[in-house]
Amino acid sequence: MLRSTTGLGVVYSWGLPGDMPLPADINGDGWADPVVWRPVNSVWYMLDARSGYEFIASQWGFSSDLPRTADLDRDGRADTIVWRPSEGIWYTKRSGGGVGVIGYGGPGDIPVSGRISSVSSEDFAVFRPGNQSAYIRTEAGEQITKDASPPIPSSGLQVITPPFKAIQ
Ligand SMILES: [Ca+2]
Ligand SMILES: [Ca+2]
């Protein structure tokens, strides 16, 4: 990590070219911490901003996966999750311990990250190009929206920020 001080504050540089930035609260203090996922070795590199930027490295996923974070176990700390495009399966590693597999979506779908519905704290969602439909798994059940607008890729990958245009 590089630290530099400017007249406006402290600027941190974290990660390497090719890393995917996924700022998330890893210590549960309500503030996002620096997190990157490095596809070449599928390692998550995290800095605990509360404890003087303690360094944490956690391998999870394959190089061809797409990463996201969410707090599935609701302990206030981000859990690391990858979507495996060849399978259409989400693999979760929870901050409180334990791993899981969530089969939602399928090969060819475009995964969407983040909270999408208003009924869940965390959703799983995909966009299916073949029928232009969005599928969202919420705590209240499944929502399917036909004729949804495709998500807009960001960071060169297809994990994007919701909402879909057709879902409000
Ligand atoms: Ca934090
Ligand atoms: Ca958690």
- 74-106 per-position pLDDT tens digit: 999 999 999 998 999 999 999 999 999 999 999
What's the 72 CA to ligand 2 centre distance in angstroms? 5
Amino acid symbol at 8: L
Report the DSSP pairing between strands 124-128 and 110-112.
antiparallel
Question: What length does the chain have?
Answer: 168
d(CA 47, CA 25) in angstroms, rounded, equals 10
Checking if the pLDDT of 3 tops 60, the result is: no
pLDDT band for position 143 (50/70/90)? confident
pLDDT band for position 12 (50/70/90)? low
Ligand 1 ion local residues (Cβ < 5 A): 25, 27, 29, 31, 33
Higher pLDDT, 147 or 40: 40
Checking if the pLDDT of 5 tops 60, the result is: no
Closest-lying ligand to the alpha carbon of 28?
1
pLDDT for the residue numbered 164: 39
Please, are residues 44 and 58 in contact by the beta-carbon 8 Å criterion? yes
First vs last Cα of the chain: how many Å apart?
39
Report the DSSP pairing between strands 141-145 and 133-138.
antiparallel
What's the 86 CA to ligand 2 centre distance in angstroms? 26
pLDDT for the residue numbered 167: 32
pLDDT for the residue numbered 153: 59
Mean pLDDT over each residue of the chain, to the nearest integer: 81
- 29-51 per-position pLDDT tens digit: 999 999 999 999 999 999 998 88
What's the 53 CA to ligand 2 centre distance in angstroms? 19
d(CA 127, CA 102) in angstroms, rounded, equals 16
Report in angstroms the alpha-carbon separations of 116 from 53, 64, 164: 31, 24, 8
